[in-house]
C-alpha cells in the first residue's frame, strides 16, 4: 500500500542532483542518526492515527494521494529547499513554476496569463477577490450559497460587502437571483463555482456570461476542485458548456493539490489580463537583486513559497500532460464513471436515496427514513459504523429546500438534513463501487 520502491527512485534522483554541485569543497552536514531514528519511529507511530486517505475505501472528503512523481520530485527538491519568492532563492523552480502557469492557462484557453502558485485555493481566491476589489472599489462580491465558505470570510478580511446567492435544486447558483442582485447596481464581482465542494455542482456559466451584456461586473471562477475536469470527455451537456466558456472569465482559481495529484500546499491563481500585475507593485529592500527577470514575489501576496511545490507540479505535468484524451484526462473520466455508477447503485438500493445525479465526482445521498430528522440520525450513525468497518465517508448538512426535492417520500420535520457525501476522486474507485455499496448496505442494516 505504501510503495517503498519510490525510495530507490528518490535515491537515484538525489545522486543525479548532487552531481551538479561536485565542484564545491567537500561538506557533509551532520546529525545524530540514532536520535533522529528514534523520533521518526515515534512520528510513524503517531501517523498511524489517520484515516487511510490513499485507499479506495476512503471515500469521504476531497482527498487524493499525490502521484509518486510529485512526491519524489518534491522530496528531492527539499535537499535544495528553494524559495519561489525571488530568483535569488529559487532559480530552476521559479522557471518551472512559470512553465506550469503557461500550461495551466492553456488548459483554460488562455495564452500566457498572469499567475502563480499559492499555498492553496483560499489564498488564490483571496488574491482574485483583492484584485476584483481594486477594479470595482466599494462594490459587492456575490457567490453561491454552496460556494466555498471562505469567500464570505475573504470578503470580510478585504472589507468588501458580500452576498450569498440561493441555489436551485441542482445545487447551482440561481441565475434569476443573480440578476435581481445585479439590478441593485452595486455588484462588482460574481464568483462562479466550477464544481462546488459540497455537491460538485457546476454553476451555469454561459447564462451568467450573458448577463454581462446588460450589467458591468467581473467574473471570478472558483475552479479549485473542478478545474481539471475540462479535460474529461464524459461530461454531460450542461457541465461541458460551462467549461467551454471558462476562457471568458476574468480570473480562475485551480488547486493542483485537489485533482492535480499534488501534495498539500499547491493552489493557483490565473488572471486573463496581465495588466492586473500592476496592483501587486511593491519594493522589497532585500530581494530581487539577482536578475531583472520577473521574480514571482513581485506578482504574489505571499512572500516565501515552497519551490518544491513548483518542482513537483512541473514533474507531474511533464509525465502527465494536461491534454484532452491523455492519461491524466482518462483518469478524470474514470472518476466520473465511478460517481455515476455509485449514484445508480444507490438509486437501486432500499437503504439509500441519492440526490442530484453527479456532475463531477461527488455523490450526496440520504439514508432512507420516514422523516428528515430520522434520516439525519441514521446518516450520522452510519458514518461511524462504516468507519469501524474501514469504510470512510463524509457528512453534509443541507437545507431541506434543496435536499427535499430529491426525497419526495420523506416527511420534512427539520430545516436541514444530514446526508452522506462521497468524493470518488481516485480513478481506482471505478473498480470499487460494487464493494463499497455492498459494505454500505451491510452497515445500514
Ligand X SMILES: *Cc1c(COP(=O)(O)O)cnc(C)c1O
Contact residues toward ligand X (CB under 6 A) are: 120-122, 125, 148, 150, 193, 196-197, 222, 224-225, 255, 258, 267
Burial bucket for residue 82 (CB in 10 Å: 0-12, 13-18, 19+): buried
Provide the minimum distance between the beta carbon of 162 and ligand X in the complex, in angstroms, as a whole number.
15
- Minimum distance from residue 149 beta carbon to ligand X (Å): 9
Give the span between the Cα atoms of 2 and 155, in whole angstroms: 41
The side-by-side arrangement of strands in the sheet containing 394-399 is: 352-354, 362-367, 416-423, 394-399
DSSP string, 365-420: EEEP-SBHHHHHHHHHHHHHHHHHTT-B-EEEEEEHHHHGGG-TTSB--SSEEEEE
C-beta of 197 vs 376, nearer to ligand X: 197
- Complex with ligand X: residue 105 or 227, whichever CB lies closer: 227
Neighbours of 2 (CB within 10 A): 5
| Minimal CB distance residue for ligand X | 121
- Cβ neighbours of 237 (radius 10 Å): 6
Q: Considering beta carbons, is residue 263 or 297 the nearer one to ligand X?
A: 263
Q: Which is nearer to ligand X, 316 or 372 (CB)?
A: 316
CB closer to ligand X out of 105 and 120: 120
| Distance separating alpha carbons of residues 230 and 223, to the nearest angstrom | 10
Residue 101 is inside which H or E element, if any?
helix 91-107
Residue (75 or 143) nearer to ligand X, CB:
143
Closest distance of CB 364 from ligand X, Å = 15
Q: How many angstroms separate the Cα of 66 from the Cα of each of 63, 180, 257, 258?
A: 9, 43, 8, 9
User: Strand 362-367 relative to strand 114-118: parallel, antiparallel, unpaired?
Assistant: unpaired
**Shortest distance in whole angstroms from residue 258 CB to ligand X:** 6
Of the two residues 122 and 331, which places its CB atom closer to ligand X in the complex?
Answer: 122
- Going by C-alpha positions, the residue among 173, 230, 166, 161 that lies closest to residue 201 is 173
Nearer to ligand X, 258 or 378 (CB): 258
CB of 41 to ligand X, least distance (A): 31
Name the residue with cell 485555493.
121
d(CA 419, CA 398): 7
Of the pair 166, 321, the CB lying nearest ligand X is at 166
- Minimum CB separation from ligand X for residue 220, in Å? 11
The smaller minimum CB distance to ligand X, of residues 296 and 362, is found at 362
Q: How far is the CB of 242 from ligand X (least distance, A)?
A: 14
CA–CA dist 293, 424 (Å, integer): 42
Smallest separation (angstroms) from ligand X to the CB of 355: 18
User: Are residues 85 and 214 in contact, defined by beta-carbon separation less than 8 angstroms?
Assistant: no
Contact 295, 84 (CB under 8 A): no
Strands 114-118 and 140-144: unpaired
CB of 9 to ligand X, least distance (A): 27
Cα–Cα dist 400/177, whole Å? 19
Distances (CA, A) of 116 to 7, 199, 266, 307, 436: 30, 28, 10, 12, 38
- Whose Cβ is closer to ligand X: residue 63's or residue 375's? 63
Least distance between ligand X and beta carbon 225 (Å): 3
Question: Measured from the CB of residue 221, what is the shortest distance to ligand X in angstroms?
Answer: 10
Amino acid at each position: 500500500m505504501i510503495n517503498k520502491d519510490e525510495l530507490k527512485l528518490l535515491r537515484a534522483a538525489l545522486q543525479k542532483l548532487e552531481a551538479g554541485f561536485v565542484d564545491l569543497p567537500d561538506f557533509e552536514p551532520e546529525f545524530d542518526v540514532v536520535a533522529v531514528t528514534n523520533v521518526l519511529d515515534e512520528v510513524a507511530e503517531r501517523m498511524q492515527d489517520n484515516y487511510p486517505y490513499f485507499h479506495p475505501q476512503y471515500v469521504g472528503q476531497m482527498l487524493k494521494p499525490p502521484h509518486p512523481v510529485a512526491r519524489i520530485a518534491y522530496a528531492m527538491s527539499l535537499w535544495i529547499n528553494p524559495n519561489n519568492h525571488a530568483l535569488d532563492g529559487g532559480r530552476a523552480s521559479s522557471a518551472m513554476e512559470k512553465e506550469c502557469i503557461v500550461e495551466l492557462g492553456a488548459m483554460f484557453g488562455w495564452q500566457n496569463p498572469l499567475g502563480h502558485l499559492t499555498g492553496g485555493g483560499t489564498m488564490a481566491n483571496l488574491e482574485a477577490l483583492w484584485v476584483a476589489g481594486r477594479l470595482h472599489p466599494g462594490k459587492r462580491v456575490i457567490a453561491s450559497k454552496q460556494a466555498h465558505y471562505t469567500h464570505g470570510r475573504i470578503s470580510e478580511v478585504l472589507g468588501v460587502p458580500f452576498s450569498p446567492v440561493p441555489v436551485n435544486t441542482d445545487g447551482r447558483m440561481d441565475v434569476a437571483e443573480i440578476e435581481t442582485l445585479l439590478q441593485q447596481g452595486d455588484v462588482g464581482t460574481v464568483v462562479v463555482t466550477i464544481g462546488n465542494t459540497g455537491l460538485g455542482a457546476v454553476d451555469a456559466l454561459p447564462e451568467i456570461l450573458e448577463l454581462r451584456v446588460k450589467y458591468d461586473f467581473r467574473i471570478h471562477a472558483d475552479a479549485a476542485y473542478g478545474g481539471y475536469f475540462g479535460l474529461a470527455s464524459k461530461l454531460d451537456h450542461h457541465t461541458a458548456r460551462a467549461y467551454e466558456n471558462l476562457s471568458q472569465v476574468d480570473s480562475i482559481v485551480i488547486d493542483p493539490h485537489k485533482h492535480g495529484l499534488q501534495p498539500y500546499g499547491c493552489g493557483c491563481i490565473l488572471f486573463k489580463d496581465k495588466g492586473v500585475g500592476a496592483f501587486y507593485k511593491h519594493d522589497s529592500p532585500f530581494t530581487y537583486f539577482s536578475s531583472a527577470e520577473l521574480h514571482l514575489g513581485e506578482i504574489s501576496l505571499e512572500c516565501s513559497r515552497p519551490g518544491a511545490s513548483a518542482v513537483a507540479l512541473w514533474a507531474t505535468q511533464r509525465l502527465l500532460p494536461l491534454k484532452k484524451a491523455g492519461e491524466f484526462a482518462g483518469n478524470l473520466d474514470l472518476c466520473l464513471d465511478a460517481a455515476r455508477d455509485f449514484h445508480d447503485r444507490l438509486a437501486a438500493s432500499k437503504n439509500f436515496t441519492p440526490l442530484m445525479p453527479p456532475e463531477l465526482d461527488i455523490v450526496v445521498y440520504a439514508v432512507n427514513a420516514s422523516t428528515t430528522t430520522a434520516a439525519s440520525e441514521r446518516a450520522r450513525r452510519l458514518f461511524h459504523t462504516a468507519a469501524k468497518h474501514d469504510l470512510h465517508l463524509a457528512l453534509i448538512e443541507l437545507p431541506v429546500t434543496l435536499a427535499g426535492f430529491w426525497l419526495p417520500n420523506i416527511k420534512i420535520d427539520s430545516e436541514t438534513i444530514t446526508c452522506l457525501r462521497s468524493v470518488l476522486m481516485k480513478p481506482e474507485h471505478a473498480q470499487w463501487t460494487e464493494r463499497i455499496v455492498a459494505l454500505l448496505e451491510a452497515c445500514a442494516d
